[in-house]
Amino acid sequence: MQITTVPIVDYLVLDAPPHLVATVCNQCAAYYFDHRDACASCFATDFTRAQVDSTGTLATFTVVAFAAPGVSVPFIAGVVDCGGISVRANIVNVEPSPDLLRLGMPLRLTTFPIGKDSNGVEAIGFGFEPSAIAEGRR
Question: Is the pLDDT at 3 greater than 80, yes or no?
Answer: no
List pLDDT tens digits, range 59-76: 999 999 999 998 899 999
Whole-number pLDDT of residue 90: 97
Of the chain, the percentage scoring pLDDT greater than 70 comes to: 95
Handedness of CA 57, 62, 90, 137 (dihedral sign): positive
**Pick from 78, 85, 128: which is nearest to 107 by CA?**
128
Question: Is the pLDDT at 86 greater than 70, yes or no?
Answer: yes
Q: Give, in order, the Cα–Cα distances in Å from 137 to each of 44, 45, 93, 114.
A: 44, 43, 12, 21
Handedness of CA 79, 64, 125, 11 (dihedral sign): negative
Separation CA 112–CA 105 (nearest Å): 21
Question: Is the pLDDT at 23 greater than 90, yes or no?
Answer: yes
Separation CA 13–CA 8 (nearest Å): 10
Cis peptide before 106 (omega within 30 of 0): no
Whole-number pLDDT of residue 132: 77
Question: Is the pLDDT at 138 greater than 70, yes or no?
Answer: no
Q: What is the mean pLDDT of the chain?
A: 93
Whole-number pLDDT of residue 135: 52
Average pLDDT over residues 29-55: 96
Average pLDDT over residues 117-124: 93
